[in-house]
Protein backbone atom coordinates (compact mmCIF):
# COMPACT_ATOMS: atom_id res chain seq x y z
CA UNK A 1 0.00 0.00 0.00
CA UNK A 2 1.12 3.52 -0.75
CA UNK A 3 -0.33 6.98 -0.39
CA UNK A 4 -1.31 9.04 -3.43
CA UNK A 5 1.28 11.53 -2.17
CA UNK A 6 4.00 8.90 -2.90
CA UNK A 7 3.10 8.35 -6.58
CA UNK A 8 5.95 8.28 -9.10
CA UNK A 9 6.09 7.81 -12.88
CA UNK A 10 6.38 4.11 -13.73
CA UNK A 11 4.82 2.94 -10.44
CA UNK A 12 2.29 0.14 -10.99
CA UNK A 13 -1.02 0.30 -9.10
CA UNK A 14 -3.62 -2.40 -8.58
CA UNK A 15 -7.05 -0.77 -9.15
CA UNK A 16 -10.53 -1.68 -10.41
CA UNK A 17 -10.86 -5.42 -9.75
CA UNK A 18 -7.10 -6.11 -9.55
CA UNK A 19 -6.26 -4.56 -12.92
CA UNK A 20 -2.69 -3.28 -13.20
CA UNK A 21 -2.21 0.39 -14.12
CA UNK A 22 1.13 2.13 -14.66
CA UNK A 23 1.46 5.81 -13.69
CA UNK A 24 2.37 7.78 -16.82
CA UNK A 25 1.95 11.27 -15.32
CA UNK A 26 0.85 12.71 -12.02
CA UNK A 27 0.27 16.18 -10.65
CA UNK A 28 -0.45 17.29 -7.10
CA UNK A 29 -3.09 20.06 -7.11
CA UNK A 30 -3.88 22.33 -4.17
CA UNK A 31 -6.78 24.51 -5.21
CA UNK A 32 -7.45 27.73 -3.32
CA UNK A 33 -10.76 26.32 -2.18
CA UNK A 34 -11.40 22.70 -1.22
CA UNK A 35 -9.14 19.76 -0.44
CA UNK A 36 -5.92 18.89 -2.32
CA UNK A 37 -6.02 16.11 -4.93
CA UNK A 38 -3.75 14.19 -7.28
CA UNK A 39 -4.50 14.19 -11.02
CA UNK A 40 -2.99 11.16 -12.82
CA UNK A 41 -2.72 9.67 -16.27
CA UNK A 42 -2.71 5.85 -16.01
CA UNK A 43 -1.91 3.21 -18.62
CA UNK A 44 -3.39 -0.28 -18.40
CA UNK A 45 -0.39 -2.63 -18.33
CA UNK A 46 -2.11 -5.37 -20.36
CA UNK A 47 -4.27 -3.48 -22.88
CA UNK A 48 -2.29 -0.24 -23.20
CA UNK A 49 -5.45 1.86 -22.68
CA UNK A 50 -4.73 5.28 -21.15
CA UNK A 51 -7.18 6.95 -18.75
CA UNK A 52 -7.21 10.06 -16.56
CA UNK A 53 -8.01 9.44 -12.91
CA UNK A 54 -8.19 11.80 -9.94
CA UNK A 55 -7.48 10.76 -6.35
CA UNK A 56 -7.94 12.70 -3.11
CA UNK A 57 -4.58 13.59 -1.58
CA UNK A 58 -3.36 11.10 1.03
CA UNK A 59 -5.66 8.24 -0.04
CA UNK A 60 -4.13 4.76 0.18
CA UNK A 61 -3.75 2.87 -3.12
CA UNK A 62 -2.56 -0.70 -3.58
CA UNK A 63 0.73 -1.05 -5.42
CA UNK A 64 1.83 -4.04 -7.47
CA UNK A 65 5.35 -5.40 -7.72
CA UNK A 66 6.36 -5.74 -11.37
CA UNK A 67 9.67 -7.48 -11.99
CA UNK A 68 11.37 -6.12 -15.13
CA UNK A 69 14.33 -8.14 -16.38
CA UNK A 70 16.48 -7.94 -19.48
CA UNK A 71 16.26 -11.31 -21.20
CA UNK A 72 17.61 -12.68 -24.46
CA UNK A 73 15.23 -14.13 -27.05
CA UNK A 74 16.42 -17.68 -27.76
CA UNK A 75 13.96 -19.44 -30.07
CA UNK A 76 10.33 -20.20 -30.92
CA UNK A 77 8.71 -23.24 -29.34
CA UNK A 78 5.39 -23.68 -31.16
CA UNK A 79 3.31 -20.60 -30.26
CA UNK A 80 5.65 -19.59 -27.45
CA UNK A 81 8.69 -17.32 -27.49
CA UNK A 82 11.49 -18.64 -25.28
CA UNK A 83 13.54 -16.02 -23.42
CA UNK A 84 16.63 -16.69 -21.32
CA UNK A 85 17.58 -14.75 -18.19
CA UNK A 86 21.23 -13.81 -18.71
CA UNK A 87 22.03 -13.91 -14.95
CA UNK A 88 20.43 -17.22 -13.96
CA UNK A 89 20.15 -18.87 -17.42
CA UNK A 90 16.55 -19.78 -16.60
CA UNK A 91 14.26 -20.08 -19.62
CA UNK A 92 10.86 -18.45 -19.75
CA UNK A 93 8.12 -19.40 -22.23
CA UNK A 94 6.09 -16.33 -23.23
CA UNK A 95 2.82 -16.50 -25.17
CA UNK A 96 2.36 -14.63 -28.44
CA UNK A 97 -0.33 -12.46 -26.78
CA UNK A 98 2.13 -11.23 -24.13
CA UNK A 99 4.81 -10.50 -26.73
CA UNK A 100 2.36 -8.49 -28.84
CA UNK A 101 3.77 -6.28 -31.61
CA UNK A 102 7.33 -6.89 -30.39
CA UNK A 103 7.12 -10.20 -32.30
CA UNK A 104 7.53 -8.23 -35.54
CA UNK A 105 11.09 -7.29 -34.57
CA UNK A 106 12.42 -10.27 -32.57
CA UNK A 107 15.26 -12.35 -33.91
CA UNK A 108 17.41 -14.83 -32.01
CA UNK A 109 19.88 -13.13 -29.72
CA UNK A 110 17.94 -9.86 -29.28
CA UNK A 111 17.68 -8.55 -25.73
CA UNK A 112 14.26 -7.42 -24.53
CA UNK A 113 12.75 -6.36 -21.21
CA UNK A 114 10.28 -8.93 -19.89
CA UNK A 115 7.88 -7.68 -17.19
CA UNK A 116 6.28 -10.19 -14.83
CA UNK A 117 3.86 -9.92 -11.92
CA UNK A 118 3.35 -12.87 -9.55
CA UNK A 119 4.92 -15.22 -12.10
CA UNK A 120 2.69 -14.08 -14.97
CA UNK A 121 4.29 -12.35 -17.98
CA UNK A 122 2.63 -8.98 -18.55
CA UNK A 123 4.47 -7.68 -21.62
CA UNK A 124 7.71 -7.70 -23.58
CA UNK A 125 9.36 -4.37 -24.33
CA UNK A 126 12.01 -3.82 -27.00
CA UNK A 127 14.42 -0.91 -27.33
CA UNK A 128 13.01 2.07 -29.27
CA UNK A 129 15.00 1.09 -32.38
CA UNK A 130 16.48 -2.17 -33.67
CA UNK A 131 18.77 -3.05 -36.57
CA UNK A 132 17.40 -5.59 -39.05
CA UNK A 133 18.29 -6.81 -42.54
CA UNK A 134 16.02 -6.37 -45.57
CA UNK A 135 15.10 -9.87 -46.74
CA UNK A 136 13.16 -8.85 -49.83
CA UNK A 137 12.27 -5.66 -51.70
CA UNK A 138 11.93 -4.46 -55.26
CA UNK A 139 15.22 -3.29 -56.79
CA UNK A 140 15.94 0.43 -56.65
CA UNK A 141 16.20 2.41 -59.87
CA UNK A 142 18.95 4.96 -60.59
CA UNK A 143 17.68 8.45 -59.81
CA UNK A 144 15.23 7.29 -57.11
CA UNK A 145 17.18 9.08 -54.39
CA UNK A 146 15.51 12.46 -54.85
CA UNK A 147 11.87 11.46 -55.32
CA UNK A 148 11.11 10.80 -51.64
CA UNK A 149 8.78 7.87 -52.39
CA UNK A 150 8.60 4.58 -50.53
CA UNK A 151 8.20 0.91 -51.39
CA UNK A 152 7.33 -2.17 -49.34
CA UNK A 153 10.14 -4.27 -47.90
CA UNK A 154 10.10 -7.50 -45.91
CA UNK A 155 12.44 -7.66 -42.91
CA UNK A 156 14.31 -10.78 -41.78
CA UNK A 157 11.56 -11.32 -39.20
CA UNK A 158 8.91 -11.48 -41.95
CA UNK A 159 7.39 -8.10 -40.99
CA UNK A 160 6.65 -5.69 -43.85
CA UNK A 161 7.51 -1.98 -43.61
CA UNK A 162 7.82 0.98 -46.00
CA UNK A 163 11.37 1.98 -46.98
CA UNK A 164 12.79 4.63 -49.34
CA UNK A 165 13.13 3.62 -52.99
CA UNK A 166 16.96 3.43 -52.88
CA UNK A 167 17.07 0.63 -50.26
CA UNK A 168 18.04 -2.79 -51.67
CA UNK A 169 17.73 -6.41 -50.55
CA UNK A 170 20.38 -7.42 -48.02
CA UNK A 171 20.91 -3.94 -46.55
CA UNK A 172 20.87 -3.47 -42.79
CA UNK A 173 18.50 -0.73 -41.60
CA UNK A 174 17.35 0.79 -38.31
CA UNK A 175 13.62 0.43 -37.56
CA UNK A 176 11.46 2.14 -34.90
CA UNK A 177 9.84 -0.68 -32.88
CA UNK A 178 6.89 1.49 -31.77
CA UNK A 179 5.75 2.69 -35.22
CA UNK A 180 7.46 0.31 -37.72
CA UNK A 181 9.04 3.37 -39.38
CA UNK A 182 12.30 3.25 -41.32
CA UNK A 183 14.91 5.32 -39.44
CA UNK A 184 17.98 4.97 -41.66
CA UNK A 185 20.72 2.75 -42.98
CA UNK A 186 23.21 1.09 -40.67
CA UNK A 187 26.81 1.73 -41.66
CA UNK A 188 28.80 -1.49 -41.60
Looking at residue 72, which CATH number applies to its domain? Answer: 2.40.50.140
Question: Given this model, what pLDDT does residue 147 score?
Answer: 58
More confident position, 46 or 159: 159
How many domains does the chain divide into? 3
pTM above 0.75, yes or no: no
Domain boundary among 14, 33, 63: 63
pLDDT for the residue numbered 115: 86
Residues 115 and 147 in one domain: no
* CB neighbour class for 69 (10 Å; exposed up to 12, middle 13-18, buried from 19): middle
Residue 145 — pLDDT band, cuts 50, 70, 90?
low
Q: Can you give the CATH number for the domain in which 37 is found?
A: 2.30.30.30
- Asked whether residue 97 falls in the same domain as residue 134, the answer is no
Q: What is the spatial distance between Cα 153 and Cα 70, in angstroms, rounded to a whole number?
A: 29
Q: Are 80 and 25 spatial neighbours (Cβ–Cβ below 8 Å)?
A: no
Q: What is the pLDDT of residues 48-69, one digit of tens each?
A: 788 999 988 888 988 888 888 8
Q: What is the mean pLDDT of the chain?
A: 86
pLDDT score, position 146? 56
146 lies in the same domain as 161: yes
Q: Is the pLDDT of residue 172 over 90?
A: yes
Among the candidates 63, 80, 96, a domain finishes at: 63
- Quote the domain boundaries for residue 56: 2-63
Same domain, yes or no: 6 and 49:
yes
Amino acid sequence: MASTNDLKNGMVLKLDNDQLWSVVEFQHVKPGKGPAFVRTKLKNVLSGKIVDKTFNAGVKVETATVDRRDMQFSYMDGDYFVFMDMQTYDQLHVSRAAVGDAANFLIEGFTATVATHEGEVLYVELPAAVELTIQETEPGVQGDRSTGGTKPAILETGHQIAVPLFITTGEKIKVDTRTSDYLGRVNS
